[in-house]
Amino acid sequence: MADLTRTVQAGRADGTIVRLALPDLMLADLAVSVVLCFPRALEPEPVAAALARALARVPLFGGRLRSTAEGLELVCSDAGVPFTTAGSPDSLAEVLPRLPRGGGGYTDPLPATAARTEDLPLLSVRLTRLADGASVLGCSWHHAVGDIASFTVLLRAWSAELDGTEPPELAPLVLDRTALLEAALPAEDSGRPGFRLPDPAEAALLAREVAQAPLANRTVQLHFTDAEVARLRADFGPGVSANDAICAQVLSAIRELDGHGQAQRLVVPVNLRRFLGLEPQLLGNLLGEICLDSPAGQTPAELAAELRAAVGDFTRSQLSLRSSLRFLAEAGPERLRECVPLGFDPARRTFTLSSWCRSGVHQLTFLGQHPSFFGPAGNLPLPWVSWLVEGEGGHGYLLTAVLPARLAGRLRSAAGRAALHPHRDPAAH
């Protein structure tokens, strides 16, 4: 089956202009690619028609970026979304292991940097029918439009339009994201900016890390059963969440297998909407981070408890967005692209874990089918970066981690499995 691409449009455009904020600018060279897998075929015509109706409700994804003297804007122009249908001779079981490594050809990653100045899409969709009748729906969106929470708003609208279910409530479109942040953020926060300006030597090192990433790093997938995580939580103490437990267990195992006897930083991005009292459906990049320095010898239980305490005290001890905005403003627009987030620090083995759990994606239906899998696909394999999603069918947890090749090999070994899964039932697969 030859690839067939069409442009999906809502059919109306009001020309609304959204002024992007500094957090959006810092992500404007990045695209995010994800896949949703379904056990049976998805017919392209109704899926594309439903996307058109969803874009009418969530028009940012069908628009275009525009650079102006004042900064970057997003224009709701209804220029459209490329929607490609394809076929594959492989089965879903053969496809799943390939998805984290370059997307396996099941997504069409966007050229994010070029979209700043060229008339390029902010969302692409690829629907592939597999040989066993399953389907892979691959989506790539421009990070300047919004974070994973923003994308799930589109998914909910798309699902509702496709299956005739109750459409989601949508937050009013924010026309000036900088003004929103000024109104929502407290006057003072933790005082720790989430970015740094590397010196020339570190900048050269980071550039080499990016250039060598596809060859130097490997992607590892780690599965944790629900029962295993329940045992971890019980062992680590009251109040510890599943995310806390998995973060602590994985980082501790990685440090053991790496032979790294020094302190190691853990960065956990968080959705700021709930901490700032904003509507959960609000579109944009409303991200903060928990940043902890885990000392040598810290046990997984101690790290999990510290992470839980940081969540509870987030606004006072961890919120850093206003400090980040001040830092970026002082750096000046000509140096914004030199600024680096705290989570990207491979020389210090800073480990970043982004959780996409509890997004509700597994409860959505597309032509009556719940996704059997939802997760990241084919993003740039920068080292020490990971994503946590629910496992197949929404059961258990799946961690996709990018690590230096040698360490990735150790995680796949018998010793690696023993370090990662001390609470797993030996009879479980």
- With contact defined as beta carbons under 8 Å apart, do 264 and 294 qualify? yes
* 127-186 pLDDT, tens digit each: 999 999 999 999 999 999 999 999 999 999 999 999 999 999 999 999 999 999 999 999
Mean predicted confidence (pLDDT) in 194-202? 95
Tell me which of 3.30.559.10, 3.30.70.940, 3.40.50.150, 3.40.718.10 is the CATH number of domain 190-420.
Answer: 3.30.559.10
Judge if 4-180 and 190-420 fold alike in CATH terms: yes
Mean predicted confidence (pLDDT) in 407-423? 95
Residue of 339 and 429 predicted with greater confidence: 339
* 332-388 pLDDT, tens digit each: 988 999 999 999 999 999 999 999 998 999 999 999 999 999 999 876 789 999 999
Identify the pLDDT of residue 268: 97
- Whole-model pTM? 0.94
φ, ψ of residue 242 in degrees (nearest 5): -60, -45
Residue 429 has pLDDT above 60, yes or no: no
Residue 418 has pLDDT above 70, yes or no: yes
Can you read off the two tokens belonging to residue 346? 């491979």
Q: What angle do CA 103, 104, 107 make, to 5 degrees?
A: 50
Give the Cα separation of 389 and 355 in Å (integer). 6
Identify the pLDDT of residue 427: 65
Q: Describe the crossing of helices 405-412 and 242-258 by its angle, rounded to 10 degrees.
A: 110
Write down the H helix ranges in 313-362. 314-317, 321-331
Class of domain 4-180: alpha beta
Identify the pLDDT of residue 123: 98
Helix, strand, coil distribution of the chain in percent, nearest 5: 40, 25, 35
What are the residue boundaries of the structural domains of the chain, listed by start? 4-180, 190-420
* 81-124 pLDDT, tens digit each: 999 999 999 999 999 888 876 667 899 999 999 999 999 999 99
Mean predicted confidence (pLDDT) in 61-89? 95
Give the Cα separation of 400 and 33 in Å (integer). 13
- With contact defined as beta carbons under 8 Å apart, do 160 and 1 qualify? no
